[in-house]
Amino acid sequence: MGKTGKGKVHGITVKRSFQVPLALLFEVITKPEHMQHWKGPRGFVMTIVSEDVRPGGKVHYSQSSPEGQIMWSLLEYVEIVPNEKFVYTNAFSDEEGNTLRAPFSQMWPLRILNTLTFREDGDMTELTMHGKAFEATKAEIQFFESFKENVKVGFSGTFELLDEYLAKLQE
């Protein structure tokens, strides 16, 4: 976890428990063929353009809004410890996979580092996600920090979609 002045930890931490086996949750979160069913805002359609699931590998994808707007993104795998930990960066990109600034602000960090840890507890699996600005300027970190609550709300919606998808898989 990164620190800002006076030892303050920066970033966003979100925890959520899912009533599924740990191995299933880990697979659904790390594999692109599952991601396209739950990752992103409700109503958006995710299209995987390329995927290379290994540390150093990337997933290049687009998300189309119901109104037809297309947003491109790039996810890069940093570390994969099966059923324990998944670390990746994500960034906005163009259609060719080149990293771009966020469409909503030039102050948003180019990349966000996400660390997900998994813990099984009976028939529940707890997911802890910590996201932080990666290789960012002080101003970008401050801007990211100012969006904490918005990001938490966004992940709440994404985790609802994940929960719904997991339920379908277990039917």
Q: Average pLDDT, stretch 73-98?
A: 97
Q: What is the spatial distance between Cα 18 and Cα 12, in angstroms, rounded to a whole number?
A: 20
**Of 12-21, 35-44, 82-91, which range is least confident?**
35-44
DSSP state of 5: G
Superfamily grouping for domain 3-169: START domain (3.30.530.20)
Q: What is the pTM of this model?
A: 0.89
**Of 63-72, 87-96, 145-154, which range is least confident?**
145-154
83: left (phi over 0), alpha (psi -120 to 50) or beta: left
In 3D space, the residue among 95, 85, 115 whose CA is nearest the CA of residue 12 turns out to be 115
Q: Average pLDDT, stretch 12-22?
A: 95
In 3D space, the residue among 107, 97, 95 whose CA is nearest the CA of residue 76 turns out to be 97
> Is there a contact between 97 and 116 (Cβ–Cβ < 8 Å)?
no
